[in-house]
Structure 1
Amino acid sequence: MKITNYSFFALALLFFACQDDMPKTTNLQLEFAHKAGIEDFEYGRMYENIAGNRFSLRLWRTYISDVKLLKSDGEIYSVPNSYHLIEPQNLNRFTLNLSDIPTGTYESIQYYIGVTDEENLSGQLVGDLDPSNNMAWNWTTGYKFIRMDGEFEDNEGNRRGVVVHIGTNENLKLQSFTFQNPLILGQSEGHILFELDLLEAFKSPHTIDFEVLNDFQFNNEADLIGENYANGFIKLIK
């Protein structure tokens, strides 16, 4: 019996020692692949939207903010100072590295497209919030949540500009994603892959036709694009 008791205590001590060796935090990599439908996005390449406009971009930037990880028991971890500017780099990809994420098992992730209210008009330089990124109008109107600059071919074959600068609190859109399998963050770094689909911004529920309007800033049509990117613009892949 004594041997059994000693064995039990030895196993218990070993268990708690292993628990103490487990890291309390780890790193999480968020990867964003930029697409145009099923094609990998490339600057300068021509794409066709649902209205039949052939267009290309020379700049595409997207702000995300207030990143949160949620556990099944309702516990939420909010990533501090999480204001991030996403744009195609490394071919069509952008990698965001988050550090000091508490280890554990998470069932979902959420964040906003845009800059949340408390920082949008504050003038504070937090995360990637910086006027030098050319994503700010001014401190009374805040940041551009999405910026797309490019051109399209009109019906006469002429090249005309496309300006998509979407901001204001009406166009701050929450994105929530539930993992197909729980995300287990432990000794190894975690990785999540998202896709941003350029064509979805001009597709649904509102069809955007550049022949009708090709400048989207502080107008009702800009808000229509905001409604379009609320759903389906960013997808969780794995």
Structure 2
Amino acid sequence: MKPLLFFLLILMTSSVQSQKTQQLMIHFQNRFGEALLVPEQSYIMYGDTITINRFKYYVSHFELTNEQGKKIILPVQYYLIDAADSVSGNIILNIPIGQYRSIHFLLGVDSLRNVSGVQSGALDPLHGMFWTWNSGYIMAKLEGTATSSQIAGKQFTYHIGGFRGNNNTARSITLPLSVTNNKVSIITDAKKWFERPYPLIIAKEPVCHSPGTLAVSIANNYVNMFSILSQQK
């Protein structure tokens, strides 16, 4: 048995190593409605003047579905997209050569990582996206000011997190894949935070800083903020 197992292990390793790969470059383009999202820039929404100061979110667990319907699960990596850092919106994935019809990823951080202690890289608490060992990671953050806000400084601050049971705010995203020259642009529209299915009104609910019903409602909105931007050759 041992020689046979050794032979099978070598065969499997050789197969993986010989599999040809290509790079898929993903660019997350942050927007507010039709406009590019630029920190400290103002936008009009429902008669309200809004200035976005901070917009961050985690993406992880990338998968692809090829033309034959086979799911390609890629090694798990965690990325923190920050509107204030244009470089953070560029991700390079090594994928098997082939044609693909959809891309899937997780918006947020999975429950295992939420309880895995101090971590580094994109998950380092120094990025300001971590509450406590009990509450876990902030999946996405949106901060700014609005003329309709009733709190000091006309602020609104939405720190959306929670990973336990019904309070889970990580969301699975699946998009049809449109690739040109091994590149794909994904639009992230922060305005969707305020739209369906839960009408989020800053004047009434300017703050969310803990897991719970409001955080889940906002997460059910931001699951809709991603779409594919077709690339031109």
Q: Would you call these one fold, judging by a TM-score over 0.5?
A: yes
For 1:1-238, list aligned pairs within 5 A: 24-50=20-46, 52-89=47-84, 94-98=89-93, 100-123=94-117, 125=119, 128-154=122-148, 159-169=153-163, 170-179=168-177, 183=179, 190-218=182-210, 219-231=212-224, 233-238=225-230
Instruction: Tell me the distance in 2 between the aligned counterparts of 1:177 and 1:41.
Output: 21
Q: Letter of the 2:31 partner, please give it.
A: K
The letter for the 2-side match of 1:173 is: R
1:171-194 Cα distance to aligned partner (Å, 9 max, x none): 1111101235xx59xxxx611111
Q: Partners in 2 of 1:74 and 1:227 — Cα distance?
A: 27
- In structure 2, relative to structure 1, the CA distance for the partners of 1:196 and 1:42 (3 Å cut) is same
- Where do 5+ consecutive residues of structure 2 fail to align? 1-17
Report Cα offsets for 1:127-186 as digits up to 9, x if no partner: 621111110112221110111121222378x84221110011321111101235xx59xx
Q: Secondary structure at the match of 1:85?
A: strand
Mark the runs of 5 or more structure 1 residues left unpaired by the alignment: 1-21
Q: What's the counterpart of residue 11 of structure 1?
A: none
User: For residue 172 of structure 1, what is the amino acid of its counterpart?
Assistant: A
Percent identical among aligned pairs is: 23
Superposed displacement of residue 75, structure 1: 2.6
Structure 2 residue identity aligned to 1:88: A
Whole-Å separation in 1 of the counterparts to 2:54 and 2:107: 17
Residue pair 2:149, 2:156 contacting (<8 A) in 1 also? no
Distance 2:118 2:78 in 1: 11
Displacement of 1:198 after TM fit? 1.1
Cα distance in 2, alignment partners of residues 178 and 214 from structure 1: 34
Aligned residues: 208
| Cα deviations by residue, 1:72-128 (Å, 9 ceiling, x for unpaired) | 333322221321111225669821122x32211211110111112222222363662
Q: Which has the larger radius of gyration?
A: 1
1:8-47 deviation digits (Å, cap 9, x = unpaired): xxxxxxxxxxxxxx98112111101111111111111122
Q: Secondary structure at the match of 1:210?
A: coil
TM, length-normalised to structure 2: 0.79
What's the RMSD between the two structures over aligned residues?
A: 2.6
